[in-house]
Amino acid sequence: MEIVKEILSGNKRALARAITIVENEDLEGQKNKEQLLKEIYPYTGKAYIIGITGSPGAGKSSLVNKLTEHIRRLGLTVGILAVDPTSPFTGGALLGDRIRMQDHFLDPGVFIRSMGTRGSLGGLAKSTKDVVKVLDAFGMDIIIIETVGVGQSELDVMYAADSTVVVLTPGAGDVVQTLKAGIMEIADIFAVNKADMVGADKVVTQVEAMLDLKDDIKWRPPVVKVVSTSNQGLDSLYEAIEKHRKYLEKTGELDKVRKERALYEVAESAVHRVRAYLNHALESNEELVGLLEKVTQKTLSPDEAANTLLANIKFSDT
């Protein structure tokens, strides 16, 4: 594909177009998208992927903005992907991020993309990973994914990251409660943002106390205080990320995690196809509509219907 050549030669406009192609969930666009992903795949795997997650308003975008500034000073390029599944319009997410990250829009070494409510077919995590691949093939040294870590789909998004930073703030309610919601497991680093406000030290103490309770941890997540509005602590945060990266590389954990991720992605892709097929078939396939009718009339169980369905699935129909 011509567009692949353009991406590999560092054409940012081609990069933007390619991202639009891989974000597309319409069935008509699938072939194009698959071809593109196939051709860029051999060029991926060089970027280091950082996930930034935390409650709404925790200061994630402000932190990404300052972290990007820091990484740029080190001479590295940055791709930013802001995923906001709660935003009804991509434009809404974009507007907020444009304000927070405006310092970087003119920088040729930075590319920013926002994704709103994509993934109505459960494909949010998949689109995110695909966009990450495009940014990776383009040659971005570091890719940052920002997302609100509330639901399963956002946690899934975080599986794409090599190092995940969980952003906490003082005065945002019970830290222990926040950390219970599956967030603790995905944190490689804790950033206590808004450290200019009272209560930051208390948050640090609470997180450290929770970490003390976990025995048998190979990597103890560092807890770093930052002020994203004034740059304070951003160098320590990046140091902590680098330290985690070195740990992953030295122990062979990075290879292991990336292998697991590949397996997960294959399975996820298969599931995604089945779901897309079903959504399509539910509207157009008479046989399936007939099966559903029987299930509704209780003459066929849902399991039986599913068996028939799987036995007759023809993806070429889609």
Ligand X SMILES: Nc1nc2c(ncn2[C@@H]2O[C@H](COP(=O)(O)OP(=O)(O)OP(=O)(O)O)[C@@H](O)[C@H]2O)c(=O)[nH]1
Nearest to 197 by CA among 231, 218, 169, 160: 169
Query: How many other CB atoms are found less than 10 A from the CB of residue 47?
Result: 22
Backbone angles phi, psi at 182, to 5 degrees: 80, 0
Residues 120-159 that bind Mg ion (CB under 5 A): none
Residues 161 and 156: their CA atoms lie apart, in Å, by: 10
For 152-187, the three-class secondary structure string (H helix, E strand, C coil) is HHHHHHHCCCCEEEEEECCCCCCHHHHHHCCHHHHC
SS3 call for 82: strand
Cα distance between residue 224 and residue 254, in whole Å: 23
| 56 part of the interface to ligand X, by CB under 6 A | yes
Type and span of the H or E element at 166:
strand 163-168
Indicate whether 58 belongs to the interface with ligand X (CB under 6 A): yes
Confirm if 74 and 107 have CB atoms less than 8 A apart.
Answer: no
Take residue 136 and report the two structure tokens written for it: 């990776």
H or E segment at 111? Answer: strand 110-115
Q: Which of 18, 148, 155, 291 binds ligand X (CB under 6 A)?
A: 148
Taking CB atoms, the residue at the shortest distance from Mg ion is 61
The one of ligand X, Mg ion, none whose footprint includes residue 56, by CB under 5 to 8 A per kind, is: ligand X
Q: Which stretch binds Mg ion (CB under 5 A): 57-65, 184-192, 211-219, 246-254?
A: 57-65
b or e along 181-200 (b: 16 or more beta carbons within 10 Å of the residue's beta carbon)?
A: eebbebbbbbbbbbbeeeeb
Q: Is 62 in the site for ligand X (CB under 6 A)?
A: yes
Q: Contact between 57 and ligand X (CB under 6 A)?
A: yes
The 174-213 contact track toward ligand X, x by CB under 6 A, reads -------------------xx-xx----------------
How big is the site for ligand X, counted in residues (CB under 6 A)? 18
Shorter beta-carbon distance to ligand X: residue 230 or 312: 230
Which C-beta is closer to ligand X: that of 153 or that of 318? Answer: 153
Q: Which two structure tokens, joined as six digits, stand for 157?
A: 């998004």
Piece of the chain touching Mg ion by CB under 5 A; list 53-61, 102-110, 242-250, 308-316: 53-61
Stretch that binds Mg ion, among 40-48, 61-69, 122-130, 239-247 (CB under 5 A): 61-69
Residues 208/220, Cβ–Cβ less than 8 Å: no
Q: Which of 61, 65, 169, 193 binds Mg ion (CB under 5 A)?
A: 61
Contact status: 302 vs ligand X (CB under 6 A): no
Nearer to ligand X, 129 or 225 (CB): 225
User: Among ligand X, Mg ion, none, what binds residue 59 when CB lies within 5 to 8 Å by partner kind?
Assistant: ligand X
Instruction: By CB under 6 A, name the binding residues for ligand X.
Output: 54, 56-62, 96, 100, 148, 193-194, 196-197, 227-229
